[in-house]
Amino acid sequence: MRDVMTDACGIIFLDKPLGWTSRKAVNEVSRLFSVPGKKRIKAGHAGTLDPLATGMLPILLGDATRFAEMGLQAEKSYRVSFDLSYQTDTLDCEGKVLSSFNDVVSRQQLEAVLPAFRGLITQVPPIYSAIRIDGKRAHDLARKGQDVEMKAREVTIHQLDLIAFEYPMVTLEVSCSKGTYIRSLARDIGEKLSMGGCVTHLRRLSTGGWPELIMVSMQVLSEQKGTCLVSLAQWLREFERVDLQPDEAKRFLQGQRIQLKGTTADTQLKDETVAVFADDSVIGTGLLKAGLRHMVLHPARILPSAQKRYL
């Protein structure tokens, strides 16, 4: 049986603690899976969470880091609470209060504006965000007092449900496309009501459809890390699977195209990304294209650990 600490490759769905940056979370998970005295295992996350936020932060280890974009590009869902009575410079309760509002709005008024925020919408990201402007993080520029101009972007709100409302507090559940800023959504809903919209609580419930139940706390992870690691094969679950024989696997890992003899070329099919397996283990991903007689597998991403095993 392999040593999970020296051969870790997979994903931890961490329930990120309140107050932690995403980078701190990655560093702590990497430390747990690294061998003391040896080089830290490579690790990265699949979608930043603010320190104020808790919830699902997929952390990829080892060769799995090559597939972080699957989380970055994925649909995400959140539960957010925000206060309509004030607004801050950071759009959350950790910032400096810029304005306060004394009026009161009803549930009916709130429900009347929500449809405008479903579907394809345009939003301006917060200046206190990790977006890069001329190579520098927007939040770093904002903290230095520099003027930061954020460009509007289109995002999609797939689902927006009102969970609770007791003025001034609103709680929503939101399912949205990549690039959506929930703080901006709260701000814009508040502005539509001529009110504030300061986020007081934010929790990511899901990334890419992965269920809440798969999340683990740092305490559980510290005690049971070997059982918490989700395999790379599961992470690539949405891709069709192609299995190669050992000789084919060697050629694939050398960057060669593989004719899949048991197939018939179908020129009507679009090029398809597939997960490539050998001996029931992921060795990389490839692009499946129609050849003259057979479908042809073109290497896309090759796992270094697989090269070590086969070459």
Which residues are designated catalytic? Answer: 50
- Of 20, 167, 147, the C-alpha closest to 85 is 167
> Distance between CA 86 and CA 195 in Å, rounded?
7
Match 């870790």 to its residue by tokens. 8
Answer for the pair 228, 12: CB distance below 8 angstroms, yes or no: yes
Residue type, 42: K
Q: Which two tokens stand for residue 172?
A: 């929503």
Match 């992870």 to its residue by tokens. 221
The distance in angstroms from the start CA to the end CA of the chain is 21
Answer for the pair 174, 187: CB distance below 8 angstroms, yes or no: no
> Distance between CA 96 and CA 145 in Å, rounded?
13
Q: Which two tokens stand for residue 99?
A: 């304005």
Answer for the pair 278, 310: CB distance below 8 angstroms, yes or no: yes
Sign for the pseudo-dihedral over CA of 109, 110, 113, 115: negative
Non-local (6+) Cβ contacts of 22 within 8 A are 16, 45, 48, 49, 57
Non-local (6+) Cβ contacts of 97 within 8 A are 86, 87, 88
Helix, coil or strand: residue 238: coil
